[in-house]
Structure 1
Amino acid sequence: MTYHLLDSGNFEKLEQVGPYRLRRPAPQAIWQPSHPALWKTADAHYHRSSSGGGHWTYRNPLPENWTVNFHGLTMKIKLTNFGHLGLFAEQGPNWDWIRRQVRGAKGRVRVLNTFAYTGGSTLAAASAGAHVVHLDAARGIVAWARENAALSRLADRPIRWLVEDVSKFVARELRRGNRYEAIILDPPSFGRGSKGEVWKFEQHLPRLLAQCRRLLSDAPCFVLLSAHTPGFTPLALQNLLADMTAGLGGELHCAEMVIPEKEGGRLLPSGAMARWTPNS
């Protein structure tokens, strides 16, 4: 079983996630749904609270977790208290792109995946032969990612699983002299590190990118930056990568991340991304 976006509109999305249908917020879906009757078939509905957070209501009982196959990976799905599932479907095309970059590289590819969440990008890189450092500040999320590695039959791949604040780890890697051919960043709008360190996107990201530039090896393969922070467009992310990679040459590309509806092809905007690759 896999993932499909069935419909969107009225600030929500209707998703087929394996055998279950879920209804969740989608703030940019300001249009009308295409299939209004279909929404009544949702097994669970996440309601966002105006004061923050939210809660699920259920039409049918659901298991604590289940799995889906998506873009070549097997991912554990779990309904969280903040409305996430452990899968961001808009990242699927990025996973395919990561695989192509790693397979097309001439030598060893060491990947640093920061804010790595449940590991889709980590596993995509590892499945293509990369050595990966998977870095996230939340211990439970890293454990979830390791489960996904086992489910995807990638548990034996060279992946280091680290629970740590990203900025502190990057600074320490610089002192150690470690380098990477590829860096992936998917920073949150706001977050806290493993020891309570505060992260704010617009305040801390430019400095982190400058540090990550110094982590790139002499034969860099790619940098991928994605975000879901309101107000930060693909072009804004590309400009940040242009600053980071100044003097390296290469090519920049940016785009809106989207999820296509299964029927009709309407696209649901779901974040922004920018990529850098060296000249071929």
Structure 2
Amino acid sequence: MQIQDDYELLDSGNGQKLERFGTVILARPCAQAVWEPSQPALWESASATFDRKDGLNWHGRERLPEEWIVTVRGVRMRLSTTDFGHLGIFPETLDLWQWIAGAVRQGAVAHGEAPRFLNLFAYSGGATLAAALAGAQCCHLDASKGMVEWARGNAALNGLEDSGTRFIVDDVSAFLKREVRRGRKYDCVLLDPPSFGRGKRGELYKVEKNVQETLDLVRQVLSDTPLFVILTSHTPGFSPIVLRNLLEQTFGKGTLTCGEMLLHGGQEVLDLPSGTWGRWEANKSQI
């Protein structure tokens, strides 16, 4: 089933969000949507719903295609429902994809060559593919073999199977330490560390304990002409200022910005915050 429609937030409220992915409309939990829905009748159009009331439950999952394809921000992505309620895309990151693509194009002009982009905790590859389509040399890393294969399949959907993108299944810390020893460098880095996770060999990752070490390793693999480092988070308490402070302490002088990741809909639809981001950009004198 192939669909050529963008993502859209249709409504939110009462602890839920209503989203359209192509022709598939889904209602899923969203704790921060504490207000009332703006369009209650619209929720009846949901193709399926997911909740966590008594475990993890899809309702109407049998009505959904086993998988389908959407195009968002010029990137084609394969979607499929998972037992945890995920689909293979986090729409709140779409604005970051667009910014990364623009920064890669500008960096190519400034450097005279394709920037080297590293995506850590990279999931199904949306940001990697946005960067690759913009001309970056990409390295995509995740500890889940299944997610890396999903990302590799998405690359093929975008005609990027021969782009030279490196798809790697590994623990982030182990990978970065090897890259430091090898002297391999990157011009741009995106990382979305989990609140809690395990690496390829069961290595435990807790963001409060490990994020500083991860950032220190990222600093060691940055090139002499870096473009940016973006840190994102869905961890409660990791506000935009927390991310900005971490980046400033680790990478020093540069342009620092931060904010909330948002789900967007039509003009009458309330923006829905879903995580935070911080960005460090090198000063032009550093490029």
1:179 maps to which residue?
A: 185
Task: Establish whether residue 218 from structure 1 lines up as the match of residue 220 from structure 2.
Answer: no
1:165 aligns with one of 167, 171, 185: 171
Distance in 2 between residues matched to 1:263 and 1:130, nearest whole Å: 33
Task: Establish whether residue 272 from structure 1 lines up as the match of residue 267 from structure 2.
Answer: no
Distance in 1 between residues matched to 2:210 and 2:30, nearest whole Å: 26
> Structure 2 matches for 1:136-151, cutoff 5 A?
136-151=142-157
Distance in 1 between residues matched to 2:98 and 2:198, nearest whole Å: 29
Shift of residue 262, structure 1, vs aligned partner: 2.1
Deviates more, 1:161-170 or 1:147-156: 147-156
TM-score normalised to the size of structure 1? 0.96
> Structure 2 matches for 1:223-234, cutoff 5 A?
223-234=229-240
8 Å contact kept, 1:43–1:60: no
8 Å contact kept, 1:6–1:263: no
Distance in 2 between residues matched to 1:129 and 1:18, nearest whole Å: 27
8 Å contact kept, 1:126–1:158: no
1:100 maps to which residue?
A: 102
Task: Establish whether residue 40 from structure 1 lines up as the match of residue 44 from structure 2.
Answer: yes
- Aligned residues between the structures: 276
Q: 2:229 is matched by which residue type in structure 1?
A: V
Task: Establish whether residue 203 from structure 1 lines up as the match of residue 209 from structure 2.
Answer: yes
8 Å contact kept, 1:258–1:269: yes
User: Which ranges of structure 2 fall in alignment gaps of 5 or more residues?
Assistant: none
2:255 aligns with one of 251, 257, 275: 251
TM-score normalised to the size of structure 2? 0.93
Matched residue of 1:22: which SS? strand
Identical pairs, percent: 49
Task: Establish whether residue 16 from structure 1 lines up as the match of residue 16 from structure 2.
Answer: no
User: Which ranges of structure 1 fall in alignment gaps of 5 or more residues?
Assistant: none
Shift of residue 49, structure 1, vs aligned partner: 4.2
Q: 2:76 is matched by which residue type in structure 1?
A: T
> Structure 2 matches for 1:83-162, cutoff 5 A?
83-105=85-107, 106-107=110-111, 108-162=114-168
8 Å contact kept, 2:10–2:269: no
Deviations 1:168-224 (A, max 9, x none): 100111111111111110111111111111110111001110111111111001101
2:31 maps to which residue?
A: 27
Q: 1:82 is matched by which residue type in structure 2?
A: F
Q: 2:123 is matched by which residue type in structure 1?
A: Y
Matched residue of 1:180: which SS? coil
Shift of residue 7, structure 1, vs aligned partner: 0.3
Q: 2:66 is matched by which residue type in structure 1?
A: E
The structure-2 alpha-carbon separation of the partners of 1:94 and 1:59, relative to structure 1 and needing over 3 Å to count, comes to closer
Q: 2:64 is matched by which residue type in structure 1?
A: L
8 Å contact kept, 2:11–2:269: no
Q: 1:187 is matched by which residue type in structure 2?
A: P
Distance in 1 between residues matched to 2:61 and 2:220, nearest whole Å: 51
Root-mean-square deviation (Å): 1.2
2:248 maps to which residue?
A: 242
The structure-2 alpha-carbon separation of the partners of 1:217 and 1:18, relative to structure 1 and needing over 3 Å to count, comes to same
8 Å contact kept, 1:24–1:46: yes
Shift of residue 261, structure 1, vs aligned partner: 2.5
Deviations 1:48-78 (A, max 9, x none): 146xx51211076111110111011011111
Matched residue of 2:63: which SS? coil
Deviations 1:211-269 (A, max 9, x none): 111111110011011111111111100101001112xx220000111112224141100
Shift of residue 37, structure 1, vs aligned partner: 1.1
8 Å contact kept, 1:165–1:193: yes
Deviant stretches of 4+, over 2 Å:
none
Q: 1:134 is matched by which residue type in structure 2?
A: H
